Amino acid sequence: MTALDPAPQILSLLQAQRAVFQAALPVPADVRRQRLQRVIDLLVKHWDGLCAAMEADFGGRPVLFSMMNDVLGSLGALKAARDHFEAWMPDQPRASVAPFDQFGATAFVKFQPKGVVGIIGTWNAPLFTLFAPLASVLAAGNRAVLKPSEIVPRTAALVAQAVAEAFDATELAVVQGGPEVAAAFSAQPWDHLVFTGSTAVGKQVMKAAAEHLVPVTLELGGKSPVVVGRSADLRAAAERIAVGKGQNAGQLCVSPDVVWVAREQADTFVAALREAYDGLFPTTRDNPDVVPVVNERHFARVQGYVADAQARGARVETAGGADAGDAANRRLPLSIVVEPAADSEIARHEIFGPAVMLRLYDEVGQAIDAINADGRPLALYYFGQDAAEQQRVLDQTLSGGVAVNDVLMHAALHDAPFGGVGASGMGHYHGREGFLEFSHTRSVYQAGAHDPRREWGMLPPYGPHLLPMMRAAVTS
């Protein structure tokens, strides 16, 4: 899309899809299943090219990670929707209005597709953030337009090519371009809009959508915290956190950002985390298993966060080999930043890179209070064997999702909703809840054959008996 003003082209595409959508209602199950299968087939056909494109866009992203996170993650979501959506489609009977239900009046809820959904993906998971929500969108019977991130241009171009091969543009289409295209995309009168990205940009997207009262699903982020209880196996917890933090070099919206440990266990935990991370990545330099930071700007940002914290007095430990990293190829070792100042950059912003904060508590309630004061994150993690403490953390915090004694894994639950709350977003996809997110839940009342209101004196002209009858119905 190269026009100076991309909005007319995007609007034309939206209007074309909406016209065909309206003419083709209702959307039967076999059509939905066939659309889902075509997306599955295009990923199966192009997975190797897409992995190569992601590798090139990142400057060395391992094919194994792209396969695991983006290709297989997307296929899992699409197959789960394909295999289960038909059970979610039927009308649901509901209680009718008394006393008319005694005369044959019935009620039910009907699930209908909303229409045309816009989906804005992100660079860190360039397939998953498009195709995982698309699975729920298509299962609900909608059409869609995808907007891949311009930060991964090769991947975006191949997604556009693959979709164009498999779909008519009135069914599923792709729009490419930079921030000006994304802004125009957000401002269109979609029937629903999905955005994955930062909280700051999410606010702009929601503001643009509000002009047309477009409902939004926002998958944002936040400083996803980890609470390591005193009852936790520190070595096991450190290993799981190291594995999670090493995924995509921490460039995931559910990556552990801040780890809370008991003060007296801090040194033991730091040593365990360093050992575990070193075991995964013995060196950072020239290591093909280490995902590069996506570009120079983000590389400098992560380095700046760590340097700022250190300049303000924070202790910084390094894991991932003794070398200083691979600046030429944007690979960084893991920085463990212990107790940074509250006003430091790393404490105020989502890290989104190979660094992690360590905070110390004397009583776990201090961690809970700090988590609650820092907004509502997309993910929260608890490690420990103390059932009462685990329940306390779950009951007294709010987050989009939770994993216990692991990290990241809740995002892979295809039969449970994935999404944020508060500053980490709104709405969700995956599972039946994803189907409902992109469906209009429509109440239907169907009158019985006989209407008793006239004979009961409930229609004008009202008689003197009606008010006493109404008063008698006012009960507790």
Residue percentage of the chain with pLDDT more than 90: 95
Number of H helices, E strands in the chain: 16, 18
Token pair recorded at residue 66: 């792209």
Token pair recorded at residue 219: 């998958």
Strands 216-219 and 143-147, by their bridges, are unpaired
Q: Given pLDDT bands bounded at 50, 70 and 90, which one contains residue 233?
A: very high
pLDDT of res. 305: 98
CA dist., res. 120 & res. 118, Å (int): 7
Query: For residue 464, is the peptide bond before it cis, meaning its omega torsion is within 30 degrees of 0?
Result: no
- Percent helix, strand and coil across the chain, each rounded to 5? 45, 20, 35
Cβ–Cβ < 8 Å for 239, 275: no
pLDDT of res. 242: 98
Q: Given pLDDT bands bounded at 50, 70 and 90, which one contains residue 1?
A: very low
pLDDT at 154 over 90: yes
Residue type, 161: Q
Mean pLDDT throughout 175-181? 97
pLDDT of res. 2: 47
Residue type, 140: A
Tens of pLDDT, residues 362-421: 999 999 999 999 889 999 999 999 999 999 999 999 999 999 999 999 999 999 999 999
Tens of pLDDT, residues 418-431: 999 999 999 999 99
pLDDT of res. 326: 77
Chain-centroid distance of CA 229 in Å reads: 27
CA dist., res. 230 & res. 363, Å (int): 10
226: part of which helix (H) or strand (E)?
A: strand 225-228
| Active site residues per annotation | 219, 253
Give this prediction's pTM. Answer: 0.95
Chain-centroid distance of CA 7 in Å reads: 26
Polymer length in residues for the chain: 476
CB atoms < 10 A from the CB of 285, how many?
Answer: 17
Which residue(s) pair with 116 in the sheet? 143
Per DSSP, 426 falls in state E
**Of 111, 49, 38, residue with least CA distance to 75:** 38
Q: How many CA atoms lie within 13 A of 14 on its CB side?
A: 23
pLDDT of res. 325: 67
Chain-centroid distance of CA 323 in Å reads: 35
pLDDT at 304 over 90: yes
Residue type, 46: H
Domains of the chain, CATH where assigned: 7-220+426-440 (3.40.605.10), 225-417 (3.40.309.10)
Q: Which residue has the tokens 């590389």?
A: 299
Q: Is 407 helix (H, G, I), strand (E, B) or coil?
A: coil
Tens of pLDDT, residues 20-52: 999 999 999 999 999 999 999 999 999 999 999
Residue percentage of the chain with pLDDT more than 70: 99
CA dist., res. 256 & res. 265, Å (int): 19
CA dist., res. 297 & res. 265, Å (int): 35
pLDDT of res. 322: 67
Residue type, 238: A
CB atoms < 10 A from the CB of 446, how many?
Answer: 10
CA dist., res. 25 & res. 116, Å (int): 13
Token pair recorded at residue 351: 């890290």
Tens of pLDDT, residues 311-336: 999 999 999 986 666 788 999 999 99
CA dist., res. 324 & res. 347, Å (int): 23
Tens of pLDDT, residues 237-250: 999 999 999 999 99
CA dist., res. 8 & res. 5, Å (int): 7
CA dist., res. 65 & res. 361, Å (int): 34
Q: Given pLDDT bands bounded at 50, 70 and 90, which one contains residue 228?
A: very high
**Of 5, 438, 351, 425, residue with least CA distance to 195:** 425
Tens of pLDDT, residues 67-118: 999 999 999 999 999 999 999 999 999 999 999 999 999 999 999 999 999 9
